[in-house]
Structure 1
Amino acid sequence: MSITVGLVGCGRWGRNHHATLSGLKASGHLDRLVLCDIDPAVLAAHAADAHYTSLEAMLANETLSAVAIVTPPQTHLSLAELVMAHDLPMFIEKPLGLNPESEQHFLTNLPHTSTLVVGYLLRHHAGMKRILSAVAARDLEVETLLYRRRTVRSKPEDADPVTTLAVHGLDTAQLMTGTPLTSMDVQSMKVTATSADIRLQHNGITVIVDVAWEADEEERLLDVNGPLNRAVLDFGTGIMTWGGSGVADGPTTEHHPSQPLKEEWLYFLQSIASGQPHVFPDAASLLDLSAWLADHGPAQHDPR
């Protein structure tokens, strides 16, 4: 079966998707890569089998196996509605949308034959999977979860620290604790134009999400602490340290090198190949995160 992927959006993050898909094409995982962006100059800078300045034209002229929407969050659902009319598998960057009612409408009207993957790429990180398996096996109990992503990069234009950076930490908290974000109490939330510090609590579990652009150094950290054990993952290097009184021989180190964006795309392509309808993360998780963002996201704070 010939695989043609349409990538919509070639901005800062879209460029990373383009590089990943170009590599997957070179290794035989897809046959054609076609691009769509409203800026012809941006399109001209990216090699592809075809270029389009409108999604409608791409849908009309290509026999697509799937479409990826990597555009600003406020455009996700309107573009996805166009793709949904063609009943094509969709990859949509996170967050799915910024309005829970619109997301609910979209997910309710999604055909039962659909495949939808939303881009929470850390769910595909090997180290993250290792910690999650330990939590599921009750080898690690979550009392405190710290997610830290601080970067020296400048803040992208029109980006918001909550919906762009913190959203990965919020998704991780939801995943690791098994608790809806909307059930957690917000202990504090400090947001500036370039940073966010969010502290949540629920039934003895504390969640800290600390993110920033224009930081002094790069930090990519997930620290899950329990009464006996502790796992600390650098999700940039893949180095993970296990410690705590439950580790009989003292702290141990594991290495979980990962290319989560590539792994995310392989997961999506495998989902398409299986032919089984699939929504990932599940609709309840997507709607919970959307509802939390509606209550605490950009419209609810005034970053200074």
Structure 2
Amino acid sequence: MVDFILQIGSENLNAAVGLVGHGRWGQRHLATLVKLKAEGHILDLYVCDIDPTKLNALPNAVNRAFTSLTDMLDEVRVDVLAIATPPQSHLPLAAQASKKGVHLLVEKPLGTDYDETVTFLDALPAATNLAVGYLLRHHPGIEAMRAQVSAKGRGDFTQFHYKRRTQRPRPQGATPLETLATHALDLCSLLLKAPLAAFNLRTLTTTDDSAYIELENEDGRLARIDVAWGAEEEARQLILSGIEGEMELDFGTHRLIHRPNGIQKDVLIDIGTEQPLYQEWRFLLTTVEESSGVLVPSRDELLDQARWLANHR
């Protein structure tokens, strides 16, 4: 790979970004990358999909399209690769790219098999930065919630209720646990400050299109997760509550309301309107300059969720 210096905000960057998978979510990535290129945050942009029909009418910002990741990695320089393909292909594609010294943004889940995930992380080059697509970590509302949790202390927020019900049909090959509930499981551990392994499973009800989960740990932290495709109406919210009151985040409207105990009026917290996928990409691009083996989430967090999914799928 050619060395380069990445400075966010510069108008003359030398970063080449590749995207493999141009389905529904890959198109969201591409729109974000086109914006970043227009703003001067990346230089070259490449897209790969095994279905050539998905490469028709790509934006002019795309330098070149490929139907083979091998060809892309062999024929052009790629510094950062986004993998937005079906979950079972994530680890093989990520392993292939990492052997070329490429930094990675892999959509969640990282892998569908716990042992294979361990093997991949063990073999990941020390200088490779890896971000797994838990983009809600970069949502300004979640960042504000984390700030409140850190300021108030670990025991002040003890209940987590996440609802994501969409009218969209279930994508082919998707499962409610690995595709919809993974965001909630990640945020549950993050905001309640306890690994999933510390929770007992009280309820797990699944269909092809939905999942309902209740988790509780020994010190009383409780999580409820309700996700579904094909719902009658859209619902995208997270409620975090405890002795300090309640915070309610509506992902659709970007509204975060704090209801402190003892205060009659809701407090609307200004979190802006920046999209979390854009923020996720800005974060990853910022880490690339150092090539220091940044993992987000951490290795322990990734394996904690991989183990939970392996035990309950």
Same fold by TM-score greater than 0.5: yes
Q: Offset at 1:294?
A: 0.5
Cα offset, 1:244, TM superposition? 3.7
The CA distance in 2 between the partners of 1:85 and 1:281, in whole Å, is 21
User: Contact between 2:22 and 2:49, CA under 8 Å: does it hold in 1?
Assistant: yes
> Which residue among 190, 197, 204 is the counterpart of 2:212?
197
**CA distance in structure 2 between the aligned counterparts of 1:61 and 1:86, rounded to whole angstroms:** 12
Please state if 1:27 is matched with 2:34: no
Q: Does the residue aligned with 1:111 lie in a helix, a strand or coil? A: coil
Query: Does structure 1 residue 255 correspond to structure 2 residue 256?
Result: no
Percent sequence identity is 39
> Contact conserved, 1:34 with 1:49, CA < 8 A, in 2?
yes
The secondary structure found in structure 1 opposite 2:252 is coil
Distance 1:145 1:95 in 2: 21
Contact 2:135–2:277 (8 Å) recurs in 1: yes
Aligned to 1:131: 145
Please give the alpha-carbon distance, in whole angstroms, between the structure 2 residues aligned to 1:19 and 1:274: 26
1:135-178, Cα deviation, whole Å (9 max, x unpaired) = 11126822210011111111111111111111100000011112
The letter for the 2-side match of 1:94 is K
SS at match of 1:143: strand
2:199 alignment counterpart: 184
Alpha carbons 1:33, 1:49 under 8 Å: kept: yes
- CA 1:290 to 1:122, structure 2 compared with 1: closer, same or farther past 3 Å? same
Q: Aligned-pair distance for 1:255?
A: 3.0
- Residue pair 2:244, 2:260 contacting (<8 A) in 1 also: yes
Give SS of 2:18's match. strand
> Would you say 1:40 and 2:52 are equivalent positions?
yes
- Residue 268 (structure 1) aligned with residue 303 (structure 2): no
Partner deviation per Cα, 1:204-247 (whole Å, 9 max, x = no partner): 0110010111112111101001023110011221111111425x
In the TM superposition, 1:69-148 aligns within 5 A as: 69-138=83-152, 141-148=156-163
Q: Is residue 84–residue 110 contact of structure 1 (8 Å, CA) maintained in 2? A: yes
Moved more, 255-264 or 4-13: 255-264
SS at match of 1:108: helix
Q: What is the aligned partner in structure 1 of residue 19 from structure 2?
A: 7
The answer as to 2:312 corresponding to 1:296 is yes
Instruction: Report the number of matched residues.
Output: 296
Q: 1:283 aligns with which of 274, 296, 299?
A: 299
1:212 matched residue in structure 2: 228
Q: Which residue of 1 aligns with 2:9?
A: none
Task: Give, in whole Å, the separation in 1 of the partners of 2:78 and 2:259.
Answer: 48
Indicate the residue corresponding to 2:166 in structure 1: 151
| 8 Å CA contact retained: 1:238, 1:258 | no
Question: How far apart, CA to CA, are the structure 1 residues paired with 2:56 and 2:75?
Answer: 19
Per the alignment, residue 240 of structure 1 pairs with 256
Which of the numbers 54, 77, 85 marks the counterpart of 2:68?
54
Aligned-pair CA distance for 1:32: 1.1
Indicate whether 1:226 and 2:242 are aligned: yes
TM-score (norm 2): 0.91
Report if aligned partners of 2:128, 2:291 keep a CA contact under 8 Å in 1. no
Give the superposition deviation at 1:64: 1.3
Gaps of 5+ in 2: 5-13
Detail structure 1 runs of 4+ shifted over 4 Å in the superposition. none
Once the two structures are TM-superposed, the CA of residue 249 in structure 1 deviates from its matched residue by 5.8
Q: CA RMSD in A?
A: 1.4
Report the Cα distance in structure 1 between the residues aligned to 2:57 and 2:106, rounded to whole angstroms: 23
Matched, 1:169 2:184: yes
Task: Give the corresponding residue for 2:11.
Answer: none
In 2, distance between residues paired with 1:63 and 1:13?
A: 24
Instruction: Find the aligned partners of 2:48 and 2:42 in 1 and give their Cα distance.
Output: 17
Give the letter aligned to residue 237 of structure 1.
T
Check conservation: 2:158, 2:192, Cα contact below 8 A.
no
Deviation at 1:196, TM superposition (A): 0.8
